[in-house]
Structure 1
Amino acid sequence: MNQQALSSFIWSVADLLRGDFKQSDYGRIILPFTVLRRLDCVLEDTKAAALTELAAKRTAGLNPAPFLLRVTGCGFYNTSMLDMKRLMGDQDHIADNLYTYVQGFSPDVRDIFERFDFDTTVERLAKSGLLYQVAERFAGFDLHPESVDNHQMGLVFEELIRKFAEISNETAGEHFTPRDAIRLMVNLLFIEDDAVLARPGTVRTIYDPTAGTGGMLSVSGEYLAELNPQARLTMFGQELNPESYAICKADMLIKGQAVSNIVFGNTLSADGLLGKLFDYMLSNPPFGVEWKKIEAAVRKEYEQKGYNGRFGPGLPRVSDGSLLFLLHLISKMRPAADGGSRIGIVLNGSPLFTGGAGSGESEIRRYCLENDLVEAIVGLPTDMFYNTGISTYVWILSNRKPEHRRGRVQLIDASSFWQKMRKSLGSKRKEMSEEHIATVTRLFGDFAEARLAILTDTTGKEVSRQVLLAGEPDPAVPQDGKVRVTPISRIFKNEVFGYRTITVERPLRDDAGQPVLGQKGKAKGKPQPDPKLRDTESVPLAQDVTDYFKREVLPHAPDAWIDHEKTKIGYEIPFNRHFYVFEPPRPRAAIDTDLKRVTDRIKNMIDGLTA
């Protein structure tokens, strides 16, 4: 049974809850019971040995915890005589026995069920008379690691949360990232370090400040395990949503990670891993979610700590806090002298261009580009995420760029690299295949400019497509078909994205049409500006402001001047503009021919009706 079928099978427990509980409550019941059954199955093989060890160590007056961890071999244990199947033998005391069983787990596991507010869930089920039926249904699910491995179980958790989020109308972009998007991000993050990561005994750290259910951390671990089974990736994360946090912690626990590295809370207002720096970082922060609730804490850090804190470069508008997560990740980078760090973060289109010169968003982009942190930005297909169909972009940042990348940014348009899913999952209708991911990874790894040639037949149907590296000729045009060539990878110098906003003033004139001169201070004897005629111009950083002014302004307004005190530097990344290809309209003669054909057909139809 694949993970989608298994998650649907588990979600069928909702049939028992219908009528007694709201749809939005289903996940709060199904998720903790799924975790409980999974942990129960993981401990099944060592249950008897653990109880024997427990009795022996208690008799000897020793703390049994370290010995039980050694027996179970999975970072947690349970000291209760009960398990899920034994619970079914006493229907009358199911609630009390379930409490006892959960309390028998080691402290980290009890914390998981506290985050689920499991006691309240059990109480509500007991009052509705459904506790035994729900527990019995879960006791019948086979979630043993031999039947469902850790990778599959992670996908099951994500599918269950997706269903929960869907019926709860959760905010777009929240909770978790599709596995195809994560695989692409992980490939881009690790590709430049494959040789280093393949060395024996390699130990690296990875961090996700919006950990969700731990999907990004898990896929990163799988990637490194395939590359080098002897390497170790120590995982860290923080998560705000209690259910997601609980599942992430359970998943890390089962995989042998130190669960103390997974922290609960709001990353922006209370950094749970203060002072820690990491080798790699991944994040998919919520899209377009305002940060008003934590504004006081964020502004306090910004104003009091400046660049010694996380938000020194600036603060974005309150309506979208995604760039705050970018700044948070940058603050967690190791110094380049200590090996540096690499970051992969998913953002929507807004952080690329929102905010004029001097705004918080522009200053954040300016900080990233002037410090040469941005390696690449990859545009993803729309409809890639479960809760939103908007355009999304993967930013790859590093403070240890290879020599050939320094001072440059690579833009990759992967928006056409997708295949239609057999069945839509929420808003997710498209997915990137392994071939698509490999192509984008190769373009990034080669640091190459490239074009995409799409060959179509006479009907306009796509026949094939080819990726053409710089210098390669266009393919031959198929008979009666067409070839459309568009750029998909472009490389720019950092300063290309910068500009100066200059303020152009024109004189205030009196009734006689003469310029009004200042009477006092610095303005004395100088023409006074007319606010109604004031204008601004954006001048690329690479251009000389004076030359631009003489060429573009003075021919149209000879009396104008620049107020240099108001000049601001800004940065924006107009991603789509760099991949736009003008397609000329059809020849006029062809359009006239089509119109005549249509009008002749309409005329014949009218003649037929009047005959």
Structure 2
Amino acid sequence: MAKKATKNEKSIEETLWDSANKLRGSVEPSEYKHVVLGLIFLKFASDKFEVKRAELLADGKEKFIEMKEFYNMSNVFFLPELSRWSYIMQQAKQDDIALKIDTALHTIEKNNPSLKGALPDNYFSRLGLDKSKLAALLDTINNIDTQKDPTQDIVGRVYEYFLSKFAIAEGKGKGEFYTPKSIVNLIAEMIEPYKGIIYDPACGSGGMFVQSIKFIEAHHGNTKQVSIYGQEYTNTTYKLAKMNLAIRGISGNLGEKAADTFADDQHKDLKADYIMANPPFNQKDWRADTELVDDPRWRGYEVPPTSNANYGWILNMASKLSDNGVAGFLLANGALSGGGEEYKIRRKLIENNLVEAIVILPRNMFYTTDISVTLWILNKNKGKQEKSIGDEKRTYRERTEEVLFMDLRQIGEPFEKKYIQFSEQHIQEIAKTYHNWQTYNVIANGEQQSLYKDVPEYCCSVTKEEIAKKDFSLVPSKYIEFVNRDENIDFDTKMKSLQSEMTQLLKDEAQSKADLLNVFSELGYDIKL
């Protein structure tokens, strides 16, 4: 077992983070995350290389130790001498160490085609990093023995920790590359990506893929029975994703390049068994009025409005589902009740029996926004199948005409002081509710019965006819019973009321400030704000 940090002892992740933070100075977090994660990857790749090299020598294959084929066949990256960690550490105190690191990363990528476009490109030389601080970071990373305990995903753990910390550090508007781990875990436990094709059209740093693989391993499945497909728009984030997968030995097709999923779809003919995604919320001007009007992805539906890409993302994913495909993805709550083309598309999705579950998440789960968001689950084959997850077999109920609504806003635990996350127990209980709703669980008197029951303020199963009576709104508070309140909360009405109250409060504050300044002015004091 890997040594666990005691209460007063810092973990490997925390020690590394403290060392990395010393590099910050004038370097933006969005830049120095590539520096740190690039070095972690270099150490990891070098350690694996050295282990394989030692094996070849022990087997008397000395003449093959510089042939990359003998490394690639064992899923190990070949590292020329100038790219090895031992060489970097020998040069750590030299004035040109930044250039040597850039050269090492470039050489690794050149010698390993699967890493094409994955590693930081000239970050170290370009950023003008403080030599002594960079050397100190190298010393800290040098202390990580990535091969000490094969059962512990040390490098993956460090990488995940750093992605999380960088997302928090970058904050609103800049941390979109990362979806909080507990949300990703929840999606995986609900849609259960056990085998088949997994797709993420806005894959960020690849967290959905990593958790899919962990789900398969936890249920004793075969990771070779899944294929990974993804796409990412931002080039630097595309590199993060490729590195993230490479560190864990996960093969994936992220397209030939970083590209816009709408304008340059890298997987046009893909049909996925599972889709997991956290696309940008409320993306504006995502297409021009005359662009993508006849795109096959919205065939049978209205063209999504140019003012907001939410329904563009929905239809992109719906179009890529296989006949038994299921998708779990996140959107801003506004998509639950929008009008115009959004209303028409939402109505058809419901009438076509694609919408399976709508789950409201708590506020303050994301590092980029404090709003509550929605987890949507679409299913191309609701209630018409049997499924095996490991040793467990499930018989599905006929839920074609129903939608499950869940409200998780009262669930969660504090995280990093101001954030909320789901515990492992929370995730298991939420997923169990969903799976109980989907399936027959109990055989009584020769009849199959379900363990699922509607629970006030938590969950409610609603027929398509009931949703039609609410004008195809998917706002959970219109359906879930709230027993401790005088009346069910209408989200739209409540938000408009709060908006009005906030507007008045701000006006009152401005007036009070003006009155106070006038008082000081009359007393002969001029206050500058």
Shared fold per TM-score greater than 0.5: yes
Matching residue of 2:71: 68
Shift in CA distance, 152/129, structure 1 to aligned 2, threshold 3 Å: closer
Superposition TM-score, scaled by structure 1 size: 0.65
Matching residue of 2:421: 431
Contact residue 52 and residue 71 of structure 2 kept, 8 A: no
Shift in CA distance, 416/46, structure 1 to aligned 2, threshold 3 Å: same
- Is 1:271 the counterpart of 2:272? The answer is no
Counterpart of 2:329 in structure 1: which amino acid?
A: I
Contact residue 89 and residue 138 of structure 2 kept, 8 A: yes
- 1:201-600 correspondence to structure 2 within 5 Å: 203-230=195-222, 232-261=225-254, 264-290=258-284, 292=285, 294-296=286-288, 299-301=290-292, 303-305=293-295, 308-310=296-298, 313-334=301-322, 336=323, 340-355=324-339, 359-403=340-384, 404-421=398-415, 423-424=416-417, 427-428=418-419, 430-447=420-437, 470=453, 486-498=456-468, 540=469, 571-581=472-482, 583=484
Contact residue 77 and residue 106 of structure 1 kept, 8 A: no
Distance 1:103 1:226 in 2: 35
Counterpart of 1:211 in structure 2: which amino acid?
A: C
Distance 2:16 2:110 in 1: 27
2:264 aligned counterpart, secondary structure = coil
Distance 2:104 2:62 in 1: 15
Distance 1:394 1:27 in 2: 28
Structure 1 residues 49-82: Cα deviation after superposition (integer angstroms, max 9, x where no partner): 6799795498xxxxx4433312xx2253223355
Shift in CA distance, 582/92, structure 1 to aligned 2, threshold 3 Å: closer
Distance 1:54 1:242 in 2: 39
Distance 1:104 1:53 in 2: 24
Counterpart of 1:283 in structure 2: which amino acid?
A: A
- 1:190-201 correspondence to structure 2 within 5 Å: 190=192
- Is 1:29 the counterpart of 2:35? The answer is yes
Shift in CA distance, 312/53, structure 1 to aligned 2, threshold 3 Å: farther
2:164 aligned counterpart, secondary structure = helix
Shift in CA distance, 187/13, structure 1 to aligned 2, threshold 3 Å: same
Shift in CA distance, 435/166, structure 1 to aligned 2, threshold 3 Å: closer
Matching residue of 1:17: 23
Matching residue of 1:89: 90
Distance 1:139 1:581 in 2: 52
How far 1:487 moved relative to its partner? Answer: 4.1
Distance 1:242 1:125 in 2: 21
- 1:124-143 correspondence to structure 2 within 5 Å: 124-125=127-128, 129-130=131-132, 133=135, 136-137=138-139, 139-143=141-145
Distance 2:336 2:294 in 1: 28
How far 1:188 moved relative to its partner? Answer: 1.3
Counterpart of 2:478 in structure 1: which amino acid?
A: R
Corresponding pairs, count: 450
Contact residue 329 and residue 343 of structure 1 kept, 8 A: yes
1:171 aligned counterpart, secondary structure = coil
Contact residue 377 and residue 396 of structure 1 kept, 8 A: yes
Distance 1:171 1:238 in 2: 20
| Higher alpha-carbon Rg | 1
Contact residue 378 and residue 413 of structure 1 kept, 8 A: yes
Structure 1 residues 404-451: Cα deviation after superposition (integer angstroms, max 9, x where no partner): 111111112222222333x43xx52x22222222222222112189xx
Q: Could you tell which deviates more after superposition, 137-146 or 178-187?
A: 137-146
Counterpart of 1:257 in structure 2: which amino acid?
A: I
- Is 1:98 the counterpart of 2:82? The answer is no
How far 1:398 moved relative to its partner? Answer: 0.8
Structure 1 residues 242-263: Cα deviation after superposition (integer angstroms, max 9, x where no partner): 3432232123223333344455
Q: Could you tell which deviates more after superposition, 439-448 or 146-155?
A: 146-155
Q: Could you tell which deviates more after superposition, 1-10 or 273-282?
A: 1-10
Shift in CA distance, 2/162, structure 1 to aligned 2, threshold 3 Å: farther
Shift in CA distance, 54/267, structure 1 to aligned 2, threshold 3 Å: farther
Would you identify which runs of 4 or more consecutive aligned residues in structure 1 move more than 6 Å? 1-4, 50-54
Distance 1:447 1:260 in 2: 34
- Is 1:7 the counterpart of 2:7? The answer is no
Contact residue 78 and residue 111 of structure 2 kept, 8 A: no
Structure 1 residues 19-58: Cα deviation after superposition (integer angstroms, max 9, x where no partner): 4545554324223222222222332312456799795498
How far 1:112 moved relative to its partner? Answer: 5.5
Contact residue 331 and residue 376 of structure 2 kept, 8 A: yes
Counterpart of 1:215 in structure 2: which amino acid?
A: G
Shift in CA distance, 370/50, structure 1 to aligned 2, threshold 3 Å: farther
